[in-house]
Structure 1
Amino acid sequence: MAQVFPSFLLDGYRNFMSGRYATERDRYRSLAEEGQRPRTMVIACCDSRSAPETIFDCGPGELFVIRNVANLVPPNGLDTTFHSTAAALEFGVIHLKVEHIVVMGHGRCGGIAGALATSAGHAPEGDFIGKWLTMVSDMANRVQAQSDLSLSEQQTELERISIRQSVNNLSAFPFVKSRVDDGQLSLHGAWFDISSGELWTMNGDSGDFLRPAA
């Protein structure tokens, strides 16, 4: 049986063509002819509530975005056969020569909740998610052991700790480290609260998350 394309997507496309595309037609044509040159890469969660382009109010060609479950950066060499996050990272750093990489997590992350559930003996169903989340299993176990924290406090703590780990993992890739050492690339962490709209940025020296001045 032939599948019918979702009508709400077609409606959205029509709105896009008559609205944003019509307004920015020259920009899209320039991007098509000259290629993309984004200054910033964002490694974000694939959660539908935390789209970087929306949160940072960016237009076409401004962000190079990598999205995966729980916005994780695997250690260099974790998978030497298929490694989509590393491939996109390599493309952005070597070929696009981005100047900033932001690892952006968010509140109420389902992936992080899954890591905590696994630590408590309730692994998420499926063949792939559990294996992916083993990257934060040690941290999840340590956070889970803090019985004085509520479940929501454990979740927020692990969301932020995993961001710090991912930023650290970035430096394990030689092509990232060399550009950081040369002053051509800077690494950042951020955490977005879906419920309040608050953005917290990570201090590169202390690792603390702070709210920037309005």
Structure 2
Amino acid sequence: MHRFPDHLLRGHANFMAGRYIREKDRYRELAASGQNPTTMIIACCDSRAAPEMIFDAEPGELFVLRNVANLVPTYQPDGGQHGTSAGIEFAVKALGIANIVVMGHGRCGGIKAALSPDSSPLDDGDFIGKWMSMLGGLPEQVGQNGLMTAGERQTALERISIRNSIHNLRTFPYVAELEAAGKLAVHGAWFDISTGELWIMDAQSGDFIRPNL
């Protein structure tokens, strides 16, 4: 039988000796009373872009949903991508989330795959290809721009994809209704792994800008 990974056991031991000791009361309160986060983060499952670390979050502070390339499907109650949709439904309808942030990141493998349609799939099932097809013709439109470098095209599609996911998020009736009523805010963000910088999408123009605290 395979052993449970030693580095995970060591990490848990460090957690118990450090952060858990410091925040023991908070964990016990969360266990007793349940979670009550105010912000949902829809992020990529890339191991280099963990929202809890990026936002220096406390336990129970963020409701995080991660998938390949932080994509949001359109509202499809009769079919479609139920995993992501179920997370959105629970966050909005059960937890009463006040903010939803769609956060992309630089050097995203899913976006790179979408820009390389001729590359061989990792497996015959090609789940990644099917998942990324949610972007429709956007990869082709960006990929055809010969005036941009490969890196510029990837960054462009990473950010366009965030705007596309926000558009899809608003097809969920309860999201649109709550946003119109001023009870829910939808945001876009892009994280640069190399520099640690966070770029925020302007709600009016759609441009990504560096925030000033």
TM (norm. structure 2) is: 0.96
Aligned alpha-carbon RMSD (Å): 1.2
How big is each residue's C-alpha offset from its partner over 1:20-61, in whole Å with a ceiling of 9 and x where there is no partner?
001100000000000000000000000000000000000110
Which residue of 2 is the match for residue 176 of structure 1?
175
Which residue of 2 is the match for residue 206 of structure 1?
205
Which residue of 2 is the match for residue 4 of structure 1?
3
Distance of aligned partners of 1:81 and 1:134 in 2 relative to their CA distance in 1, 3 Å threshold:
closer
Which residue of 1 is the match for residue 36 of structure 2?
37
SS class of match (1:117): coil
Which residue of 2 is the match for residue 74 of structure 1?
73
Letter in 2 for 1:151: A
Letter in 2 for 1:90: E
Q: Which runs of 5+ in 2 are unaligned?
A: none
User: In the aligned structure 2, how far is the partner of 1:82 from the partner of 1:50?
Assistant: 22
Question: Cα distance, 1:78 vs. partner?
Answer: 8.0
Question: Cα distance, 1:137 vs. partner?
Answer: 3.8
User: In the aligned structure 1, how far is the partner of 2:66 from the partner of 2:140?
Assistant: 25
Letter in 1 for 2:153: Q
Which residue of 2 is the match for residue 124 of structure 1?
121
User: In the aligned structure 1, how far is the partner of 2:77 from the partner of 2:30?
Assistant: 34
Q: What pairs up with 1:187-202 in 2 under 5 angstroms? A: 187-202=186-201
Distance of aligned partners of 1:3 and 1:69 in 2 relative to their CA distance in 1, 3 Å threshold:
same
Question: Cα distance, 1:123 vs. partner?
Answer: 4.5
Among the aligned pairs, what percent are the same residue?
55
1:24 aligns with 2:23: yes
How big is each residue's C-alpha offset from its partner over 1:171-207, in whole Å with a ceiling of 9 and x where there is no partner?
1001111111111100000000000111100001110
CA contact (8 A) 1:114 1:123 kept: no
State the number of aligned residues: 211
Runs of 4+ in structure 1 over 3 Å off: none
SS class of match (2:195): coil
1:46 aligns with 2:45: yes
Q: What pairs up with 1:80-159 in 2 under 5 angstroms? A: 80=79, 83-118=82-117, 121-126=118-123, 127=125, 128-159=127-158
TM (norm. structure 1) is: 0.96
Q: Which moved more, 1:74-83 or 1:5-14?
A: 74-83
Question: Cα distance, 1:124 vs. partner?
Answer: 3.0
User: In the aligned structure 1, how far is the partner of 2:156 from the partner of 2:188?
Assistant: 14
